[in-house]
Structure formats: structure tokens, C-alpha cells
Amino acid sequence: MADRDSVWQALAQVKDPELGRPITDLDMVRRLEVDGGRVFVEILLTVQGCPLATRIERDVAAAVRTVPGVREVEVKLGVMNDEQREALVRKIRGPQPEPKSSLFDPDSRTRVIAVASGKGGVGKSTVTANLAVALAQEGHQVGLLDADIYGFSIPTMMGVSGPPRVFNRAIVPIDAHGVQVMSMGFLIERDTPVIWRGPMISGAVEQFLRDVLWADLDFLVVDLPPGTGDVPLSLAQRLPRSEMLVVTTPQEASVSVAKRAGYFAEKTNMRVLGVVENMASFVCPHCGETVEIFGAGGGERMAAELEVPLLARIPLEPAVRRASDEGTPIVVAAPESASAAAFRELAQAVARGAKREPRAVKA
């Protein structure tokens, strides 16, 4: 015969797919009845028409069936009322009257990793997306904030679209490849330009940090726009504990501009974790010859000048572009590829705190 405590412990292993916390902690289990080998569970969804209702129901039933003695499981789905939703938001954010993300807490355990570049076209967003997913594959709870308000591309690369759910003044990020994702691309029509001045851009970043109901994250990976303008400055001011990765190609024109992002971090008291050299080399699939299309050594030179480690050299592979266009990062689409291996090494270096020089990844 099953006992109630064992069933409750099994339910505690089930997490809400969007909020990333156990359903028992979120008070989503309204009723639990255990009668011999029969178990009845009533689960309260956060909103009516929850798109993940079937997944939650399936996960609950599967978890309960792992308990010895359980022969039959019935799962009933209900919906939280306004008071219950407000209590859920308070439980995640704390008792403050106005929405405020735990990211602003000086004691927050979340590491904010800002991915920057001096100019566009170096593959910064590709690095960001694959780093976030690789960190999640390592077992970390990861959020991905697309802070490139004008030139957002993360929704395409992660294969997701909006709009996100909103309840009780809280925006629920969208789950993709095990990562919680938020982007301006979820909030406007496709191909609609964002025609805003600097203060509005800074306000949007503030709202993404403050009003999004992020889970209890290990990492928040932020895709910054190119350059050293309003968005990086807002992030540095609001989250002074942020750390920066600087992305460049080996080309000197890229390196000379990318260094400015590193110097920006130093001047705003952000820690520079290291340098990522993207598009480092290309191996011809026909003859096997390695071609340095964008030159060689740029990443090493920049890392030496900034006095930080070169964390990864990402080879130039057509499969990375195809995977991004199809909405599946290369670490998922082709985990055996040289690029995926380089991204995994980058994720491991970031998780370690980037305290040592990485092993070079060959294409």
C-alpha cells in the first residue's frame, strides 16, 4: 500500500515547466488522497487554458506511479483564482508590494553573464543561445534574456515565439530547450521595427529584469546589443554583479572594436570573464584542409591585452547557421560536432568561474 508521505515526496519532484519550481512549493497541489493503491491528485494550473496542462498532468501521473504500492492514479486539473495567483507571485518574489525580481537582491545566487561584442556580425547571439542551452544541459537552471531590443534574433535561434503569458503583473518567460527565454520579439509583430529612443530602451530592459517571473536561476545569460550604449550601461547600473563575455572573430577589424566592450566592463566595474573567438577556422568538408577565413590569433591577442583568458575558439561550420535558422542550437542539433564541443567547453569554463585557461578546441 502507498502512503501519503511517499506520494507527496514524488510530487515534489515535479516542476512547473515555466516557473521551474516544484509544484508542491508553488501550492499547485490542492488535494491529495491516498486510498490503498489508489491515488487522487488535484492540481491547480496558474491560468485558464495553460498550454502546458497536458505535460503537467502527464508528469504528475508518471511521478506518482513511481511510488511503491500505487496501482491507479487519477489527476484532476483546476485553475488558481486571483488570490491564489497573487500568493504564488509573492512566494516567488517575496512580500514587497511592487514587482521586484530577486535578481536585484545583493545576495542573489544568480550569476548574470552578459555576452557582448563591439560590432554586429560576429555571431554574438549564436554564442549566447548555445551557451545558455549548454549550461542547461550541464544541469543548471538557466534564463536567457534577449536585450538586443532593436535587433533581436534569439526567438528565431531558439525556435520559439510569443506572446508570453502574463498574470498578476508578472510576465512568464517561454521555455525552449530547457532554458527560460524572454525577448522583445515575443511582444511585437514579426518584422515590426522598434523605433524607440534611449530612455525607452533602458526602460524595456528594466522591465525585463523586474517584471519577468524568472525561476530561481543559476545563470541569467544576457544577449547584449553590439557596442557600449544604453543597454549595457543599464545592465551594469542595475546589476553591478554582472560578468561579461566578449565575442570577436579573429579578424583585426573585429578585435579592435570588440576590445572596447572589454574596457567598458572594466570602467563600469563588471568582471570580464574572458574572450570567445567565433568563426575561428573552417575545415573543408571535401579535402579536409583548414582555412583561416577571418585570419588567426585575434582572440588570443585581445585576451592578452584585456588580461583575461581565451575561453573558447568556435570553428566556422555551416551546420551552426542551419541549426540557428531552424530554431535548434547546434549543441542540440549536432552535439557531436566540433562547434558543439567548443560551446560545451565554454559553458564548463563559465560554470567554473573561468579561473583557468581552457584547452584549445580543434575543428
d(CA 236, CA 359): 30
Coil, strand or helix: which one is 249?
coil
**How many folded domains does the chain comprise?**
2
Residue 361 forms part of a structural domain? no
- The pLDDT assigned to 361 comes to 39
DSSP string, 25-42: TTT-EEEEEEETTEEEEE
In the predicted model, what is the mean pLDDT of residues 330-354? Answer: 93
Q: For residue range 46-69, list pLDDT tens digits in order.
A: 888 777 899 999 999 999 999 999
**Half-sphere exposure in the Cβ direction for 117 (13 Å, CA):** 26
45 and 116, same domain (yes or no): no
59 and 106, same domain (yes or no): no
248 and 348, same domain (yes or no): yes
Q: With 90 as the cut, is the pLDDT of residue 293 above it?
A: no
Residue 311 forms part of a structural domain? yes
130 and 228, same domain (yes or no): yes
69 and 112, same domain (yes or no): no
Residue 296 forms part of a structural domain? yes
178 and 303, same domain (yes or no): yes
Residue 268 forms part of a structural domain? yes
- How confident is residue 231, by pLDDT bands cut at 50, 70 and 90? confident
Mean pLDDT of the chain: 86
158 and 243, same domain (yes or no): yes
Last residue of a domain, one of 80, 114, 137: 80
107 and 63, same domain (yes or no): no
Q: With 70 as the cut, is the pLDDT of residue 98 above it?
A: no
75 and 112, same domain (yes or no): no
Q: Give me the phi and psi of 304, to 5 degrees please.
A: -65, -40
Q: For residue range 123-156, list pLDDT tens digits in order.
A: 999 999 999 999 999 999 999 999 988 888 999 9
d(CA 165, CA 81): 16
CATH number at residue 42: 3.30.300.130
172 and 211, same domain (yes or no): yes
61 and 186, same domain (yes or no): no
Last residue of a domain, one of 80, 111, 143: 80
Residue 360 forms part of a structural domain? no
- The pLDDT assigned to 357 comes to 41
Q: What range does the domain containing 25 cover?
A: 4-80
**Cβ atoms of residues 117 and 275 within 8 Å:** no
Coil, strand or helix: which one is 271?
strand
CATH number at residue 244: 3.40.50.300
Residue 330 forms part of a structural domain? yes
- How confident is residue 340, by pLDDT bands cut at 50, 70 and 90? very high
273 and 240, same domain (yes or no): yes
Q: For residue range 169-182, list pLDDT tens digits in order.
A: 778 899 999 999 99
Residue 93 forms part of a structural domain? no
- The pLDDT assigned to 33 comes to 94
Place of cell 557582448: 116
